[in-house]
Amino acid sequence: MGLLPSLMNVTVPLFKEMMVSRNFLASENRRSVACIISDGVFSFAIDFAIEKGISIVYFRTISACSFWAYFRIHELIEADELPVKGKGMDLLVKRLPGTEGFLRRRDLPGFCRVDYIDEPKLQGIKFETRQTARAHAAILNTFEDLEGPILSHIRTQIPNLYSIGPLHSLLKSRLETTTKEFSESSGSLWEEDRSCLTWLDSQPPKSVIYVSFGSITIVTRDQLLEFWYGLVNSGQRFLWVMRPDSITGNDGESQIPTELEEATKARGYTVDWAPQEEVLNHPAIGGFVTHSGWNSTLESIVAGVPMICWPYFADQTTNSRFVSEVWEIGLDMKDTCDRVVIEKMVREVMDVKKEEFLERADQLAKLARKSVSEGGSSCCNFERFVEYISGWNSTLESIVAGVPMTCWSYYADQQVNSRLVGEVWKIGMDTKDTCDRVMVEKMIGDLMGVTRDEFFRSANQRAKLARRSVAEGGSPYCSLDRWIEDTKLMTHDK
């Protein structure tokens, strides 16, 4: 059974069970959750949300350019540009608006490389991607200055689209505006070896090329040796991340070869896993040999590090083409693994065209950082998205329902609202400008325990006033009547 069908079989019943057991659905005495934010490949979530009358937002974790390619699979099949195979790999794609003149068939996402158009993985991706258009909104981890033209094309099909990336930079930017210090977080499944940072400290500026193929890519022993010879023959210093499970050979061995460890002692350093963001932002790093996963690509862009792309599967084959041909911040080495080519590309990025690549990468890094700063496109889009799913409406809904609040205001009117909730209406507490576990624990404890009755009494009084206000004779009821009459008079006068 394929991955997607298996995932659905397991996830759908668990998702429905969670929604019921956690009391997320509406009942006689309880409101439903306001919004579901789902991974874009979980199409079952939208059917469930529509059935229950809940807003749904899809979060697509891939690049806009690869998402657009997936979205247009139907048109590409109709134009006989799919499936991708044989000698036609280098033909330009014609039915993907916004990519004319540079995107080849071999640059389409890896799932397009099938023998027949009815293969389950192609049809599954086609179906799941199209479901995004049914959602109330969609989120993409990108920014306007990077993929603006492609985003414009996507918005013709999905108007309510929010580009809010790079998310790792947006997170830091938001935290820096509210707290002086915050801890780095890592979603890695591997333990980071921080000794590589000490090694980098002893290297000259922009002298080291960083090599990492992410958490999934598997290389054969032959491919490993091609990269090794290419790196060593280039004469450049290198930091190589080699996961213990990343190497396969005819004998099934997955250990780092002894000869690799010996040969890298002079000017190389290897680790099982590295703190990638810190590595990419280290002054000694001058280039990045990458599998072109979207998170790695964005991290490299933000750090201003040129790339040599060796894509493995999925969206990576499209990302690598945009890196080399559109953003011009690196080279694309897809579909080949040859020591001569590797040596040549490493020399080009680290020596021959070093200044050219660094200058362009620095320009794009500045645009990335600007996008998540106050007033930047991603910052504003994120604020719009938050307003879309929360804001004053949430406060009013809670008041009408008689539910006390703990307020962690984010921006705009919310800071004022939270103060009124805590100090004027006495129906909750205000936690603005802090994000501390002890404080959160105390406030929730007070709200739900120590002062529970007091808050519920006050909230219930406010709820009665709110409901009375919209009943016949209430102030908003009368105001609406007056507004209707005034509108009629103005219309009549015209």
Q: Per residue in 151-176, pLDDT tens?
A: 999 999 999 999 999 998 888 887 77
- How far is the C-alpha of 494 from the C-alpha of 491, rounded, in Å? 5
- How far is the C-alpha of 279 from the C-alpha of 62, rounded, in Å? 23
Note whether 225 and 338 are within 8 A (CB).
no
Query: What number is the average pLDDT over the span 426-445?
Result: 84
Could you write out the DSSP letters of every residue in 406-444? EE---STTHHHHHHIIIIIS-SEEE-TT---HHHHHHHH
> For domain 392-493, is the CATH number 3.40.50.2000?
yes
Domain ranges of the chain: 3-163, 195-372, 392-493
Instruction: Give residue-wise pLDDT tens across range 265-310.
Output: 888 998 999 999 999 999 999 999 999 999 999 999 999 999 999 9
Could you write out the DSSP letters of every residue in 257-300? PHHHHHHTTTTEEEES---HHHHHTSTTEEEEEE---HHHHHHH
- The closest alpha carbon to 72, from 109, 44, 101, belongs to 109
DSSP element (H, E) containing 248: strand 247-248
Note whether 109 and 317 are within 8 A (CB).
yes
Contacts by 387-391 with C-beta closer than 8 Å and gap 24+? 387/412, 388/137, 388/160, 389/34, 389/35, 389/55, 389/57, 390/34
- How far is the C-alpha of 403 from the C-alpha of 447, rounded, in Å? 10
Token code pair at residue 250 = 């005819």
Note whether 168 and 277 are within 8 A (CB).
yes
- How far is the C-alpha of 164 from the C-alpha of 140, rounded, in Å? 6
Q: State the pLDDT at residue 36.
A: 87
Token code pair at residue 390 = 């929360």
Q: Above 90 in pLDDT, residue 328?
A: yes
Q: CATH classification of 3-163, choosing from 3.90.1150.10, 1.20.1090.10, 3.40.50.970, 3.40.50.2000?
A: 3.40.50.2000
- Entry pTM: 0.76
CATH class of 195-372: alpha beta
Q: Above 90 in pLDDT, residue 69?
A: yes
Burial 308-345 (b: 16+ CB within 10 A, else e): bbbbbebbbbbbbbbbbebbbbbbbbbeebebeebbbb
Burial 62-93 (b: 16+ CB within 10 A, else e): bbbbbbbbbbbbeebbeeebbbbeeeeeeeeb
Q: State the pLDDT at residue 1.
A: 40
Q: State the pLDDT at residue 267.
A: 87
Note whether 328 and 296 are within 8 A (CB).
no
Token code pair at residue 419 = 């103060």
Query: What number is the average pLDDT over the span 179-204?
Result: 76
- How far is the C-alpha of 301 from the C-alpha of 373, rounded, in Å? 16
Q: State the pLDDT at residue 365.
A: 97
